[in-house]
C-alpha cells in the first residue's frame, strides 16, 4: 500500500473519500490526523493523504484541490507524532512524499489487520463511510477477540456447569494422550475448564469440544452442508445440518463430503482403475477442519456453511481473518484465534498444529491440475472457493484415459445414464454394493423416486440383485453375487 504510484493515488482520489481513503490539508490538527489513522487501524486499514482539500458538497476532487504541503519533512514528523500519541503507539510504514499535479502530497498507509485495538484519549474509533465514530461495546468486544487481545474460547460459558461436559468423551481424549490420568487437570491445562470463585467451570472451548449439547450454549456453532444441483442456489439440493461437538461435526462433515462429492472412475491404458473425487478429498477436508478450528465463535446465530455446486465448492466461516493474517499473506502468516481448540484438535489427529493447511491445499489442487483456491474476506466472514477443472482440461485428460462406460447398454440390455453411473460404481473393486443413497449422491439433481425406479428396473432386467430389507436394502451385480 505504501508503494502506490501517482496514477493509483489519482484513481483513489477520484473515487472519493471512503472508509479506506481520506485526506486533509497541511494545517490539519494533530488530533484530526490521529483520529483518522486510529479509526482506519481499528477497521480495515486505508490510505490517508495530507495536502488535499475537499470540495464543497461532495463534488469530485480536481487538480485545483491538490494544494500540497510546504514542509514535507515537518508534516511527516507530525504524522509520526500523531501515531505515537495513540494507545498503544501505532506502528505504521514511514509516510512518504509524492508529487501530484506538481504539488507535494504526503501519503500515510495504514495496513489492514493491525495487531491491536487502538484508542485516542480513551476513545476507541472506527471508520463508518467517511466518518470516525466510536466503537459500540459489542464491536469493541468483537475486535478485541479478533485481534487476539482477549479470547472467547477461554471465557467460562454462561449458564453451563460441569454436568454439561460429556465426560466419556473427555476421558477418551485424555486416555489418548497417554501421559496424564487426571481428566479435570488436563482439561484445565488445555483451557477447557477454568476456575470461577474457586469452582471449576467449563469454558467455551470445553463446551465446543466436549459438551453434551454445545449449540444450546453457543448458538451458531454448527455446520450447514448443502449440495446444489447447478452453479447457483436452487430448490434442488441435498442438505444436512451438522451439530454436536466439534470433533463429531468434523467427522460427520467428512462423511457428507464423501457422499456428495462426485467421483470419476477411469480406466488407464494398462487397464488400471483410477477413481478420484472432483476435488482432492484431503484439500476439501483441510478447508473444513480449518474453518472449524479458526472461525469466530463469538458470532452467534451464524454457522459454517459448506456449499457444493456443480462448478465449485465453498467453505464460509463467520468472522474475518484473525490477527495479522490477510488474504495477501495467508500462505506465510500464522495466527490462531482459538489456540485451545487448535491444540485439542491437533491432539486428536485432525490437524497439524504447526501447519494450518493453506499451503497443503494449494499443493493438492495443483497436483490435480486444478486452479489455486480463491480466498476472500466478506462483510461478516471468510470464504474459500475450490473450482472444478475447466472443460478443456478435462477433455485433454479424457484423451489420455478411457472412461469406463457402457455406451447406453450393458451386455446387450439398454440402460439410461443414471443406470450406467450405478454400474460404473459397482465395477469398482472397492464398491461391491450400491444403495439408493449412493446413486442419489452420484446424481444429486435427480428425484429420489426416479433413483428407486432405476435400480428396480436393473433388478427386473437381472443386471442387479436386491439384498436386505427396507432401509437396510442394497444392490449387487447379479453375476458377482
Domain ranges of the chain: 6-135, 162-217, 223-392, 405-477
What's the CA gap between 14 and 68, in Å, rounded?
A: 16
**What are the Cα distances from residue 377, in Å, to 224, 319, 326, 328, 460?**
19, 9, 9, 11, 53
**What pLDDT does 353 receive?**
44
Q: Where are the beta strands (DSSP E) in 81-214?
A: 96-100, 103-110, 119-120, 123-128, 131-134, 193-196, 199-202
**What pLDDT does 401 receive?**
44
**What are the Cα distances from residue 468, in Å, to 179, 251, 471, 475, 476?**
46, 27, 8, 9, 11
The CATH classification number of 405-477 equals: 1.10.10.10
What's the CA gap between 127 and 444, in Å, rounded?
A: 45
**What pLDDT does 200 receive?**
93
Scanning 380-446, the segments in alpha helix (DSSP H) are 391-400, 417-426, 436-442
pLDDT in tens, the chain (481 residues): 456 778 888 888 888 889 999 999 999 999 999 999 999 999 989 999 999 998 887 778 888 889 999 999 999 999 999 999 999 999 899 999 999 989 999 999 998 878 789 999 999 999 999 999 999 988 887 787 777 666 889 889 989 999 999 999 999 999 998 876 799 999 999 999 998 888 999 999 999 999 999 999 999 999 999 999 888 898 888 899 999 999 999 999 999 998 888 876 554 443 344 457 889 999 999 999 999 998 999 888 789 999 999 899 999 999 887 767 778 777 777 777 888 999 999 999 887 644 457 888 888 888 888 889 999 988 778 999 999 876 544 444 444 444 455 667 788 788 888 888 888 888 877 788 999 988 988 888 788 899 999 999 999 999 999 998 877 899 999 876 4
Q: What is the pTM of this model?
A: 0.60
The third-level CATH classification (topology) of the domain covering 223-392 is Heat Shock Protein 90 (3.30.565)
Q: Which pairs from 236-239 meet CB under 8 Å and 24+ separation?
A: 236/444, 236/445, 237/444, 238/440, 238/441, 238/444
**Homologous superfamily of 6-135:** Schlafen, AAA domain (3.30.950.30)
> Count of CB atoms within 10 A of residue 103's CB?
14
**What pLDDT does 396 receive?**
43
Q: Where are the beta strands (DSSP E) in 236-362?
A: 237-242, 263-267, 273-277, 304-308, 312-318
From its phi and psi, is residue 408 left (phi > 0), alpha (psi between -120 and 50) or beta?
A: left
**What pLDDT does 277 receive?**
82
**What pLDDT does 264 receive?**
61
**What pLDDT does 405 receive?**
55
Q: Which three cell numbers stand for residue 110?
A: 495504514
Amino acid at each position: 500500500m505504501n508503494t502506490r504510484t501517482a496514477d493509483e493515488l489519482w484513481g483513489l482520489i477520484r473515487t472519493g473519500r471512503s472508509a479506506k481513503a481520506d485526506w486533509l490539508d497541511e494545517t490539519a490538527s494533530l488530533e484530526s490526523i490521529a483520529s483518522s489513522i486510529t479509526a482506519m487501524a481499528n477497521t480495515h486499514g486505508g490510505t490517508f493523504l495530507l495536502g488535499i482539500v475537499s470540495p464543497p458538497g461532495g463534488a469530485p476532487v480536481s487538480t485545483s484541490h491538490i494544494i500540497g504541503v510546504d514542509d514535507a519533512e515537518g508534516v511527516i514528523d507530525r504524522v509520526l507524532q500523531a501515531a505515537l500519541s495513540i494507545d498503544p503507539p501505532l506502528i505504521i510504514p514511514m509516510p512518504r512524499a509524492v508529487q501530484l499535479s506538481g504539488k507535494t502530497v504526503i501519503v500515510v498507509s495504514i495496513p489492514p489487520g493491525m495487531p491491536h485495538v487502538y484508542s485516542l484519549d480513551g476513545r476507541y474509533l472506527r471508520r463508518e463511510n467517511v466518518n470516525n465514530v466510536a466503537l459500540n461495546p459489542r464491536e469493541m468486544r468483537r475486535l478485541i477477540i479478533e485481534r487476539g487481545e482477549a479470547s472467547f474460547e477461554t471465557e467460562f460459558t454462561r449458564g453451563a456447569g460441569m454436568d454439561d461436559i460429556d465426560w466419556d468423551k473427555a476421558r477418551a481424549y485424555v486416555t489418548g494422550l497417554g501421559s496424564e490420568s487426571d481428566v479435570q487437570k488436563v482439561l484445565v491445562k488445555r483451557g477447557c475448564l477454568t476456575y470461577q470463585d474457586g469452582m471449576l467451570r467449563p469454558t467455551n472451548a470445553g463446551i465446543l469440544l466436549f459438551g453434551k449439547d454445545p449449540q444450546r450454549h453457543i448458538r451458531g456453532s454448527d455446520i450447514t452442508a448443502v449440495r446444489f444441483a447447478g452453479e447457483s442456489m436452487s430448490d434442488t439440493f441435498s442438505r444436512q445440518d451438522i451439530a454436536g461437538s466439534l470433533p463429531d461435526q468434523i467427522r460427520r462433515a467428512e462423511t457428507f463430503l464423501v457422499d456428495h462429492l462426485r467421483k470419476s472412475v477411469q480406466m488407464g491404458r494398462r487397464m488400471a482403475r483410477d477413481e478420484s473425487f472432483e476435488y482432492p478429498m484431503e484439500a476439501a477436508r483441510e478447508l473444513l477442519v480449518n474453518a472449524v478450528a479458526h472461525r469466530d465463535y463469538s458470532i452467534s446465530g451464524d454457522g459454517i456453511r459448506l456449499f457444493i455446486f456443480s462448478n465449485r465448492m465453498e467453505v464460509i466461516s463467520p468472522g474475518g481473518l484473525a490477527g495479522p493474517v490477510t488474504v495477501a499473506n495467508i500462505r506465510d502468516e500464522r495466527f490462531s484465534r482459538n489456540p485451545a481448540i487448535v491444540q485439542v484438535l491437533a491432539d486428536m489427529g485432525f490437524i497439524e498444529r504447526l501447519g494450518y493447511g493453506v499451503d497443503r491445499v494449494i499443493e493438492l489442487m495443483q497436483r490435480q491440475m486444478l486452479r489455486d483456491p480463491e480466498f476472500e474476506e466478506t462483510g461478516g466472514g471468510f470464504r474459500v472457493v475450490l473450482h472444478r477443472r475447466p472443460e478443456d482440461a478435462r477433455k485433454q485428460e479424457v484423451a489420455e484415459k478411457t472412461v469406463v462406460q457402457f455406451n447406453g447398454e450393458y451386455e446387450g440390455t439398454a440402460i439410461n445414464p443414471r443406470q450406467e453411473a450405478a454400474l460404473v460404481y459397482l465395477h469398482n473393486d472397492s464398491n461391491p454394493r450400491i444403495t439408493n443413497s449412493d446413486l442419489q449422491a452420484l446424481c444429486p439433481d435427480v428425484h429420489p423416486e426416479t433413483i428407486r425406479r432405476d435400480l428396480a428396473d436393473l433388478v427386473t432386467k437381472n443386471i442387479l440383485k436386491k439384498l436386505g430389507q427396507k432401509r437396510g436394502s442394497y444392490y449387487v451385480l447379479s453375476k458377482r453375487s
